[in-house]
Amino acid sequence: MRIAAGLSLVVLGSGAVGHAVMTGLDTGIERVDPFKDMKNRPQAGHGMNFLLVGTDGRDRISPEEKRAYRLGGAPCHCTDTIMLVHLSADRERASVVSLPRDSYAELPAHRDPVTGKPHRPHPVKLNAAYAEGGPNLTVRTVENMTRVKIDHYLEVDFSSFMKTVDAMGGVEICTAKALHDQNTGLDLLPGTHRLGGGQALQYVRSRHVDGASDLGRMQRQQRFVAALVKQATGGGVLLNPVKFKEVSATLLGSVRADRDFGSEQMLALGQAMRGFTPSSSEFASVPVGDAAYPVKGIGSTVKWDGPKADRLFESLRQDRPLAPPRPGGGPGGRQRPAAVPVDVPPQQIRVQVENGTRIDGLGGRVDEALRATGFDTTRAPGNGASRDVRRTVIAYDPRWDRSARTVAAALPGSELRAVAGQGRTVLVTAGSEYRKVVPVRAEDPYQGGGAAQAVTGDQVVCGP
């Protein structure tokens, strides 16, 4: 589950060390046969596809950890997280697609793996496929829904997730708003945090920090995977054989995988992807047509938007990027910097700019730059009462403090100044120390009626 984590490290980075370090690491892998007796499978496309699943596994958690991270109750013996990961044929891109666990699914005809009793096709929530038929039925169901052929199956539980994150030294996560979930115990203030294994599990499990439930949680899981890739590629884990072996051994000690996935495959992949960075990864969620589709006997399910989902999975089959080209990218072009996540969308914030210096045209340049990143500026910059302002000042009504913080994120080094009764318009007085406007984007978990646009990993991790 929240899996992709350590799994991303092993899949993407093992080539940074030699065969000697990898020798024997796959002896602890518990083997499963998710492809047994499968027929009429989708045609293989280009690249390689992994189905990454996270199981509940709270039965392997110590009593102390259960209390600390609120993991009480009985395990559900189902998949808590499902991700489809596509590695491009040239090994220069990884595309991660989250599949909502409550997705409406039609299970194919199958036999109970324990009793042998036959079952006819019937509707379920996607995460129930694992409970009814284990890895084999899960793979069959996902392939039927996506028409993407799965090459490898990887499964991780709560315990291995926490141990792997701790072995890496934690993972850095940024949030533009406070995150609090009484169910999991997650409690993060706005800002940057380094999460250990237990806190990381709380972060990726939380469903009640906003109104987006599991759909918002999927995007937080994607942010976590991107942050973990950044940690693995930039934190010395992959270039340190001792550290790499420690992390790999921790993960592989409890992972379940298909019979053809082992240390040799991990090493070959890693050697082909030595230059992998967060910008090499991209993340998307399946487009949703109805987030509360009622099904008799099952309850509320997530119904995919058929045509849009088909186009998404066709891109995977054809080995095409999911994220749109970034402005300024491409040969000979300079890549536009990743936008900083903020709480309030800039499009919802009215801004009046004034020039607090004797620099001709400064107010107009600031107004234009703020408008370019999405702010609703007046397009009528004026001159401030003082012409000797050094540090840019952001004056705001305390009732609109969240909007003011969004403006401050776009103007690094500025000063926030509360002015009671000012109203909803934020007043920016540009000072002589002004240098630039930083692009910002709303940290918007999920708005329903579709899926968020695919993003690259460097757009959702903390800054450099």
Residue 382 forms beta bridges with which residues?
Answer: 354
Gyration radius of the chain over CA positions: 24
DSSP strand pairing (350-355 vs 382-383): parallel
Q: Return d(Cα 299, Cα 295) in angstroms, integer.
A: 5
> What CA–CA distances, in Å, run from 355 to 14, 314, 352, 430, 444?
53, 51, 10, 5, 32
Per-residue confidence at 62, pLDDT binned at 50, 70, 90?
A: low
Tokens of 415: 């000063």
Q: Return d(Cα 238, Cα 257) in angstroms, integer.
A: 22
Q: What is the mean pLDDT of the chain?
A: 81
Q: What is the pTM of this model?
A: 0.73
pLDDT attached to residue 381: 95
pLDDT attached to residue 60: 62
Nearest C-alpha neighbor of 135 from the set 155, 120, 157, 105? 155
pLDDT attached to residue 337: 60
Tokens of 18: 């030699």
Lowest mean pLDDT among 271-285, 294-308, 345-359: 271-285
Give φ, ψ of 128 to 5 degrees. Answer: -75, -15
DSSP state of 306: H
Give φ, ψ of 458 to 5 degrees. Answer: -70, -10
**pLDDT(33) > 50:** yes
Residue 175 forms beta bridges with which residues?
Answer: 191
Tokens of 76: 């559900």
CA dihedral of 97, 99, 104, 105, whole degrees rounded to 10: 80
Q: Which residue has better confidence, 60 or 150?
A: 150
- 107-155 pLDDT, tens per residue? 999 888 878 888 999 999 998 999 899 999 999 999 999 999 999 998 8
